[in-house]
A and B are shown apart, each in its own frame.
Chain A
């Protein structure tokens, strides 16, 4: 495509849209670097001089260090379980043509549109009775279950497009079904595993409501829950609140920048279904 005056005009228009789009981000970031006097007198200006005090205080008062650890533990274990359970189940569903496998597949698909609100209260009771409120295990169980339909759906579609001959060869050579799956099938699933990993990780890391319900006050709160409590506590100290929000969003944004090609591809291909 040639670069014509029309392309240049489009380029300018798109950049103008992006600048408008970034206005809230500008407000947040500049706020984080201002002291209360600057916020009151020069609300939209560039911070001069920029003060860094908000960041240290926000980090400590929001307890972001331990919240990051909690979020990481819960997200990583949930995603690993989703990949293992989801791929194994999808392999069975995609390679078996019985009434049972078809019904199970439909049952999983139903889970994609079922709003979690319907089972929210009975599940809360179950988690409470099982003594899992306030624990990592409760959250990991929840995320693995709630994200499985989507994961199974993505894996099943992908496995159906693969030829079946690979495993047969391994099985004839004397491998067990599990060995054939682990050494032959699973490595072939790499592209869709990447998509499953990214989509689930973003979803679980950012979730707010369930961890608020299950982890509130336990000391195992995830980042969004800590930020929620922190913002509500320092509600009128805008500089501090902004610094807390910037710090809390940085890890996922940094990860996004590193993995952005795969993230965008994963989102698109995962949903092209």
Chain B
């Protein structure tokens, strides 16, 4: 959706051209209530947050002094924060690739002549509307370390008992277990956006390609995939921002543990602020996260948009 930042310039130009025809313009005060609420809830706090990243604010009272880039120096030496940065990136890559890949396969699967497609859409999409905190608790039980509960019990029942794991307690596995839960919940979301894209692919193109003897894979590569470019853009952008800012699922399932194995930038900044009372440091982590999200978004917009127009 940030894709529009880039497109806004063109829109503005278009609006200027249309201006002559639009006649009477709405009064400026129509925008005032929204701007006020937005400024109070988003703009002012974000600017204040960015500002306090350069202070040693403890969060209690107004006492704070300017410490320059000390918080950022501390950040690059903080093994917990660096581990969290690494976890954040790994999680994001896993979520973007697997969730969208799965979403695309599901969309292709239910965009066919199968009889159960409406029911299957409902099944795959239903987890999207359930609160992430509840989905996390459900999966926390599925990942129960006991050999006769949840996923481990199912593995035992189908003769794969050797694969039983302590899914959330094993530090080298926990991050992927959390990623899988997010993917399970959100694959339906990607599916729906891909379905919307697939509906825009004209059937005649496929028919004429079939007459020309193009097989299923050739038709996907040369017709469906290029025309899905806008859906890919939106899906990749959404899942990237979602992955980078992932918070609820981690707090509910592992609270960043075992050790720091599933800490992300979001959980670290939360703990620094509300557990250790280091608000200045916490907002420095938040500022790094914000810059990160913005940078990744702009790079993606640039790349994915150019892909769309070339397609």
Spell out A's residues near B (CB within 8 Å): 1-3, 7, 10-11, 13-15, 17-18, 21-25, 27-28, 31, 43-44, 85-86, 88-89, 91-97, 100-102, 104-123, 125-126, 141-142, 144-146, 148-150, 152-153, 157, 160, 164-165, 167-168, 171, 177, 181, 202, 205-209, 213, 223-224, 227-228, 231, 238, 241-242, 245, 248-249, 252-253, 256-257, 260, 263-264, 267-269, 271-273
1/0 per residue B229-267: CB within 8 Å of A? 011001000100100110110011000000000000010
28 examples of A-B residue contacts, CB within 8 angstroms: A11-B116, A14-B114, A14-B116, A23-B154, A28-B138, A43-B149, A92-B30, A97-B16, A97-B19, A113-B241, A114-B46, A114-B293, A117-B245, A117-B247, A118-B289, A119-B42, A119-B44, A120-B273, A126-B45, A141-B37, A141-B41, A181-B30, A202-B129, A206-B133, A224-B133, A268-B193, A271-B193, A272-B196
Partner of B43 from the list A18, A95, A107, A213 (CB cut-off 8 Å) is A107
CB <8 Å contact, B196 and A269: yes
CB <8 Å contact, B41 and A92: no
Residue of B nearest to A111 (CB): B42
Q: How distant is the Cα of A146 from the Cα of B47 in the complex, in angstroms?
A: 15
Q: How distant is the Cα of A10 from the Cα of B72 in the complex, in angstroms?
A: 53
Partner of B266 from the list A92, A117, A123, A272 (CB cut-off 8 Å) is A117
Spell out B's residues near A (CB within 8 Å): 1-5, 8, 11-12, 15-16, 18-19, 21-28, 30-31, 33-35, 37-38, 40-50, 52, 59, 106, 109-110, 112-117, 120-126, 128-134, 137-139, 141-142, 148-150, 153-154, 157, 184, 189, 192-193, 195-196, 230-231, 234, 238, 241, 244-245, 247-248, 251-252, 266, 269-270, 273-274, 279, 282-283, 286-287, 289-290, 293-294, 297
Q: How distant is the Cα of A223 from the Cα of B186 in the complex, in angstroms?
A: 21
Partner of B37 from the list A144, A242, A267 (CB cut-off 8 Å) is A144
Q: How distant is the Cα of A55 from the Cα of B284 in the complex, in angstroms?
A: 45
By a CB distance below 8 angstroms, the chain B residues around A228 are 133, 252
Residue of B nearest to A3 (CB): B113
A240 vs chain B, min Cβ distance (A): 12
Q: How distant is the Cα of A263 from the Cα of B130 in the complex, in angstroms?
A: 13
From DSSP, what is the main secondary structure of chain A's interface residues? helix
CB <8 Å contact, A273 and B42: no
Residue of A nearest to B117 (CB): A14
Residue of A nearest to B147 (CB): A43
A3 vs chain B, min Cβ distance (A): 6
By a CB distance below 8 angstroms, the chain B residues around A269 are 196
Q: How distant is the Cα of A272 from the Cα of B48 in the complex, in angstroms?
A: 33
B58 vs chain A, min Cβ distance (A): 11
Partner of B112 from the list A7, A241, A248, A271 (CB cut-off 8 Å) is A7
CB <8 Å contact, A119 and B45: yes
With A142-B41, A227-B137 already in contact, the answer to whether A18 and B27 are too (CB < 8 A) is no
Residue of A nearest to B273 (CB): A121
CB <8 Å contact, B129 and A118: no
CB <8 Å contact, A167 and B157: no
CB <8 Å contact, A241 and B30: no
B153 vs chain A, min Cβ distance (A): 5
Q: A96-B28, A206-B133 are in contact. List 16 more A-B contacts (CB 8 A).
A: A10-B109, A17-B106, A94-B15, A109-B5, A114-B293, A114-B294, A118-B289, A119-B42, A119-B49, A121-B52, A122-B44, A123-B41, A171-B24, A181-B30, A252-B130, A269-B196
With A85-B33, A122-B52 already in contact, the answer to whether A17 and B193 are too (CB < 8 A) is no
CB <8 Å contact, B122 and A260: yes
CB <8 Å contact, A123 and B45: yes
CB <8 Å contact, B50 and A89: no
Partner of B42 from the list A149, A177, A248 (CB cut-off 8 Å) is A149
Q: How distant is the Cα of A256 from the Cα of B130 in the complex, in angstroms?
A: 10
Q: How distant is the Cα of A157 from the Cα of B37 in the complex, in angstroms?
A: 21
